[in-house]
Amino acid sequence: MSFLKIATPAQARRFFLARSGLVLSGAAVALLAGRDALAAKSGDKTSDTKILNTALAAELEAIAAYQVGAESGLLQKPVLDLAVTFQGHHKAHADVLAKTIQKLGGKAVAAKSKYTFPVEKLKSQADVLRFAAGLEQGAVSAYLGAVPLFGNRDLSKAAASILGDEAMHWAVLRQALGEAPVPSAFVS
Per CB under 8 A, residues contacting another protein are: 47, 50-51, 53-55, 57-58, 61-62, 115-116, 118, 134-135, 137-142, 144-149, 188
Whose CA is closest to 77, among 18, 8, 28, 25?
A: 8
Question: Nearest distance from residue 134's CB to another protein, in Å?
Answer: 5
Identify which of residues 58 and 108 has a Cβ nearer to another protein in the complex: 58
Taking residue 41's Cβ as centre, other Cβ atoms within 10 Å add up to 13
Which of these, 159, 126, 151, 150, lies nearest to 59 by C-alpha position?
A: 159
**Residue 76 CB, nearest approach to another protein (Å):** 25
Q: Over the Cα atoms of the chain, what is R_g?
A: 17
Task: Compute how many other C-beta atoms are within 10 angstroms of the C-beta atom of residue 54.
Answer: 14
Of 4 and 115, which has the nearer Cβ to another protein?
A: 115
CB of 83 to another protein, least distance (A): 17
Of 25 and 47, which has the nearer Cβ to another protein? 47
CB of 23 to another protein, least distance (A): 21
Following DSSP, what letter does each residue of 105-140 receive, concatenated? T--PPPPPS-----GGG--SHHHHHHHHHHHHHHHH
Residues with Cβ < 8 Å from 163, sequence gap 6 or more? 139, 140, 143, 144, 147
Choice between 42 and 137, CB closer to another protein: 137
Q: How far is the CB of 67 from another protein (least distance, A)?
A: 15
Q: Which is nearer to another protein, 26 or 148 (CB)?
A: 148
Cβ-based nearer residue to another protein, 33 or 142: 142
Q: How far is the CB of 177 from another protein (least distance, A)?
A: 14
Q: Please tell me the total number of residues recorded for the chain in this structure.
A: 188
Of 120, 117, 62, nearest in space to 88 by CA:
62
